Amino acid sequence: MTRISLSVDGASVSDDVEPRMLLVQYLRERLGKTGTVIGCDTSNCGACTVHLNGTSVKSCNVLAVQADGAEVTTIEGLAKDGKLHAVQESFRECHGLQCGFCTPGMIMQSVDLLKENPTPSEEEIRLGLEGNLCRCTGYHNIVRAVQHASGQAVNS
Amino acid sequence: MIPAAFDYVAPTTVEDALAALAQYGDEAKIIAGGQSLLPVLRMRLNAPEWIIDLGKIESLRGIRDDGDAIVIGAMTPHSVVGSDPLVAEHAGLISKAVEHLADAQVRHRGTFGGALAHADPAGDLGAPALALGAQFVIAGSGGTRTVAADDFFVDLFETAIGEDEILTEVRIPKHTGWGACYEKFVRVAHQWPIVAVAATVKVDGGTISEARIGLTNMGSTPIRARAVEEALAGQSLSEDVVRAAAAKAADGANPPSDLNGDADYRRHLATVLTRRAVVAATGG
């Protein structure tokens, strides 16, 4: 067992974990943060995307011990005081989801993308989200949601 | 999928990491960003007893100007390398290759040194490092040594790094003012290239003074397309010259055959991508 201390969605946590425990497992099984989902389990689909020290990572491809000392934000930490994050609002407004399974990862990656590039072109949105797969293939509305969140005109 | 159980140590200095490596030897694997190693562990293709994590060694991160070279710390994430102005100015080929390496999440976590030490022949950094004549600084118990790119890549997933050694930094000789393009062919977004071409070219007054071309996934290691380089050097830049030179891209290459394409397909791809890469690198 290895002792880890980190911040998750603004709360300090400390735990003894097996070194082989994945960050996504730690979030879901120890902390009950099941908003972060496991999609492909092969680091392809991006459904498990969270922010580690402010940048997006696939939490199925990070060990919990590697997050020792870090600040983690999950989809559950985006809303503040009961008010959805602007990107969450946009996904709802533009219906940027079908089954909804890829949505937590899509939103976390979109927040990261908009932080680096506040007004991305359609191509930049598609490239920025290339590590996130939507198996319903609902990409058009996801792109629209990111355009809407960035205050740009939305594709018709 | 969960990796097999292992013990874990996260040293804070290179010396401590080398000591751990000496102590656990064959039973240990080094983890950098883990973007290649963790999938291997989760699929149980490898089950080391010890994992030595370099993530807490601050001295292995960062990029600096060292006169005639840019020095990239082995643990510098791809996203940092890709947005670094020094790298863009003096080793533009690296910036171009990093731009479309894997996806954003992997670029945040994966490291420059980790990817090169992993030595996947389909990895995006080997060919640019080879083309730019990178030098690899490797630390061991007896001190550090420097290995030239031509000697670094030994075979499939095998480099000159010894079992008791750690790659600490990579020196990229400055190629200031050289044009650059990394032309990558994939079937599916954010996947490894079926073939990719790393080209950097110096043009003076319409004449190609020097060209350096690296090929990705055209053999068990990244390779140089030397026949193309020789055919371009000293020539006046023209479409015909580039086309004729690019036709030699697969000379001497021994590319793999797999579900993405057979060896002949890859040889053909190499010539097409080389032409496109050289045209783009020379402002076409």
CA proximity to B228, closest of B127, B155, B154: B127
pTM of the model: 0.96
Residue A121 lies in a domain: yes
Same domain? For B158 and B183 the reply is no
Single residue among A14, A44, A77 that ends a domain in this structure? A77
Residue B141 shares a structural domain with residue B116:
yes
Domain shared by A68 and A103, yes or no: no
Q: How confident is the model at residue B255 (pLDDT cuts 50, 70, 90)?
A: very high
Q: Are A39 and A71 in the same domain?
A: yes
Q: Is the pLDDT of residue B284 over 80?
A: no
In eight-state DSSP terms, residue B199 is E
- A56 contacts A100 by C-beta, under 8 angstroms: no
Are B41 and B71 part of one and the same domain?
no
- A80 Cβ under 8 Å from any chain B Cβ: no
Cβ neighbours for B25, distance < 8 A, ≥ 6 positions apart: B163, B164
Query: Is the same domain home to A41 and A6?
Result: yes
Please report, for the domain that includes residue B250, its CATH number. Answer: 3.30.390.50
- Residue A114 touches chain B, beta carbons under 8 Å: no
The yes-or-no verdict on residue A156 having pLDDT over 90 is no
How far is Cα A33 from Cα A25, in angstroms, rounded to an integer? 9
Does B1 lie at the interface with A, CB-CB under 8 angstroms? yes
Q: Where are the beta strands (DSSP E) in chain B?
A: 7-9, 28-31, 50-53, 63-66, 69-73, 135-140, 143-148, 153-155, 158-159, 166-173, 179-185, 195-204, 207-216, 223-224
Q: Dihedrals φ, ψ of A74, to 5°?
A: -105, 175
User: Which residue type is seen at A153?
Assistant: A
E-state strands within B54-193: 63-66, 69-73, 135-140, 143-148, 153-155, 158-159, 166-173, 179-185
CATH number at residue A10: 3.10.20.30
Domain residues for the domain of B259 are 179-281
Region for A25 from its dihedrals, namely left if φ exceeds 0, alpha if ψ lies in -120 to 50, beta otherwise? alpha
Position A155 in a domain: no
Mean pLDDT, residues B172-177: 98
Average pLDDT value for residue range B72-88: 98
Residues of B in contact with A21 (CB under 8 A): 2
Confidence of residue A42 (pLDDT cuts 50, 70, 90): confident
Across the interface, whether the CB atoms of B108 and A52 are under 8 A apart is answered yes
A20: contact with B, CB 8 A cutoff? yes
Once rounded to an integer, what is the mean pLDDT over residues B79-83? 98
Please tell me whether residues B196 and B245 are part of one structural domain.
Answer: yes
Residues A54 and A108 both lie in one domain: no
**Which band of pLDDT confidence, cut at 50, 70 and 90, is reported for residue B1?**
confident
Task: Report how many domains make up chain B.
Answer: 3
Say what the pLDDT of residue B190 is. 78
Residue-wise pLDDT for A70-89, tens only, equals 999 999 999 999 999 999 99
Instruction: Answer yes or no: do A39 and A99 share one domain.
Output: no
Domain count, chain A: 2
Q: What is the mean pLDDT of residues A11-17?
A: 98
Tell me: do B165 and B72 sit in the same domain: yes
Residue A44's closest chain B neighbor by CA? B190
Residue B243 Cα to chain centre, angstroms: 26
Residue B1 within any structural domain of the chain = no
| Whether residue B96 is found in the same domain as residue B186 | no
Whole-angstrom Cα distance, residue B249 to residue B245? 7
Residue to test with chain B: of A2, A16, A18, A43, most B Cβ within 10 A: A43
Q: What is the pLDDT of residues B3-24, one digit of tens each?
A: 999 999 999 999 999 999 999 9
Binding-face residues of B in 261-280 toward A, CB within 8 A:
none
Set of chain A residues whose Cβ sits within 8 Å of the Cβ of B114: none
**Is A114 found in the same domain as A54?**
no
Best residue in B12, B53, B105 to probe A by mutation, most A CBs within 10 Å?
A: B105
Show the domain range for A139.
86-149
- Cα separation values, A89 from A54, A79, A110, A153, Å: 21, 10, 12, 16
pLDDT in tens, A101-131: 999 999 999 999 999 999 999 999 999 999 9
Kindly state the average pLDDT of the residues B167-182.
98
The Cα B137–Cα B135 span in angstroms is 7
Q: Are residues A49 and A99 in the same domain?
A: no
Domain end marker among B107, B138, B173? B173
pLDDT tens digits for range B28-78: 999 999 999 999 999 999 999 999 999 999 999 999 999 999 999 999 999
Instruction: Kindly state whether residues A103 and A140 are assigned to the same domain.
Output: yes
Q: Are residues A47 and A111 in the same domain?
A: no
Q: Is the pLDDT of residue A155 over 90?
A: no
Mean pLDDT of B122-150: 97
pLDDT at residue A52 in the model: 98
Domain annotation covers residue A104: yes
| Mean pLDDT score across all residues of chain A | 97
Are A11 and A72 within one domain? yes
Which of A77, A104, A135 terminates a domain? The answer is A77
Residue A154: inside a domain: no
The model's confidence at residue B25, banded by pLDDT at 50, 70 and 90, is confident
Q: Round to whole Å and give the CA distance between B113 and B33.
A: 9
What is the structure's pLDDT at A79? 96
Smallest CA–CA distance from B77 into chain A, residue: A55
In a domain, A156, yes or no: no
- CATH number of the domain encompassing residue A113: 1.10.150.120
pLDDT at A13 over 80: yes
Q: What mean pLDDT is predicted for residues B84-88?
A: 98
Residue B81 has pLDDT above 90, yes or no: yes
Last residue of a domain, one of A77, A101, A130: A77
Average pLDDT over residues B230-235: 98
ipTM of the complex model: 0.96
Note whether B82 and B185 are same-domain residues. no
Q: Are B122 and B187 within one domain?
A: no
Is B253 contained in some domain? yes
Residues B203, B252: one domain? yes
**Per-residue pLDDT at B253:** 97
Domain match, A6 and A69 both: yes
User: Which chain A residue lies closest to B110 (C-alpha atoms)?
Assistant: A57
Tell me the average pLDDT across B110-139.
98
Is residue B258 very low, low, confident or very high in pLDDT (cuts 50, 70, 90)?
very high
Are B168 and B70 in a shared domain? yes
Question: Do residues A36 and A57 share a domain?
Answer: yes
CATH of the domain at B145: 3.30.465.10
Which positions in chain B touch A72 (Cβ < 8 Å)? none
pLDDT of residue B125: 98
Q: For position B152, what pLDDT does the model report?
A: 98
What confidence category does residue A21 fall into, taking pLDDT thresholds of 50, 70 and 90? very high
Neighbours of B240 (CB within 10 A): 9
Whether B75 and B37 share a structural domain: no
User: Are residues B115 and B190 part of one domain?
Assistant: no
Does residue B2 form part of some domain?
no
